[in-house]
Chain A
């Protein structure tokens, strides 16, 4: 980064003793880690290990489930997002999320989908909306494919395109962090690779956290990898390290396929 350039927009997240419950069931047990700014961090682990729950605690979506509870602190650039003074909505604007199954808003055009976050956030100016929508679609690698049919319904796109549409929608509100919860698991291999390329590109502008059950994907796409098991953090290391020389027996057993 040269002198005088603006520092990259992403921010680091410090997670301190994060615990989460669904009613009586504890899904996360005191997880602590530091997510580096402008890097891709992958969260891996067997089904039910708490990786989705973890990520949903980062943008305060977990608490939307009836009976759900969170304890612990999550600092975004020094500010605890669970501080009682903090509005969960603001957190979600700054920490965006893309879900496992593509979920474009039904009955809305491609343009309206991408613009939704902006419009509902109060932006009215047509020109501004058009600019931001184009930027977001370009970032998501979808612009060229849809620029001539922005007013067609989002649900008419293919699965891979729909997911990129959802990514564009999330990017349009300019978050600092983007959380992706198994974004490619419902997609075909070619779309999956496109999404992976996208993730690598995105880290220039934001911090990316990606949950995946596909270890090869985690190995391909991320700079850091965290391995969760039964709600606990077992190991967290630079990806190359974790996949060539894991320190924990459980990590080694999981990634070599001896269980899970």
Chain B
């Protein structure tokens, strides 16, 4: 009886996900063509065009965000688990949890106030920073937790060889948690890739190519937002296509994370 109820619950939980995917594919696939990835958006009112700049822009801001958040987050996790005293670790974990709880729009406002206003322009860099703030607590926490799973005996075994603590952490402890750290990082990246709110106030958007970090840049989530609320049918189509691409990208990252995890830990 319980088994039936549990199975039913699982179906109910999965159904919306599958529904979303099905709808996305149905609506988005027909509009997906090579143009999407190669052409710039056409001016208002003109049919056609693509979102090449948004694809590149997303890669840029996510890339910048990762470049900041991943090293800081991993090092932060290493610090709290391997080096900090009880109070230091508690402090960092508290800050991390608080940051994780801040709505991403607020983080966007923060970066706007601090970076955009100071630079007097919207920019990919600001977008990257906002995403970094979103990613940082996740990476720090997952690194911390994965390191906690490394048995204490591994650390003792390394120290007992007569090597300094930093070498033991860097060359033995962290590598033994590498799979978990990597998958935690990939999941954080996947989440950041889909963030829209912080980008609205930082990267803003751009109808043209831009590879400069100090200028506004188009990103897929923001484009989807703008196109979806527009009155143009053509833009709606393109929004669906963009949504499909975004979800596909996130799915790939998530699956990638699981694959890495399985290879490192489930290999036997």
Contact = CB atoms under 8 A, between A and B. Distances in A.
Decide whether A and B assemble into one complex.
yes
Interface of A: 59, 61, 64, 66, 89-94, 96-97, 99, 101, 103, 105-108, 116-117, 120-121, 153, 155-156, 166, 169-170, 173
B175 A108 contact: yes
Contact of A101 (B85, B153, B158, B161): B153
B254 to A, nearest CB: 22
B85 to A, nearest CB: 8
Interface in B157-205: 157-164, 167-168, 171-172, 175-176, 178-179
Contact of A107 (B157, B158, B264): B264
Contacts of B264: 107
Closest 5 pairs (CB-CB, A-B) = A93-B162, A117-B161, A92-B162, A103-B153, A106-B176
Nearest to B168: A120
Contact of A117 (B151, B163, B268): B163
A99 B85 CA distance: 25
Contacts of B150: 106
Contacts of A64: 156, 159
A212 B163 CA distance: 27
A173 B268 CA distance: 29
A166 B161 CA distance: 11
B162 A156 contact: no
A92 B176 contact: no
Contacts of A96: 160-162
Contacts of B85: 66
Contacts of B167: 120
B211 interface: no
Contacts of A156: 268
Which of B154, B156, B160, B168 has the largest count of A CB atoms less than 10 A from its CB? B160
B128 to A, nearest CB: 32
Contacts of B154: 103, 105-106
A59 B267 CA distance: 35
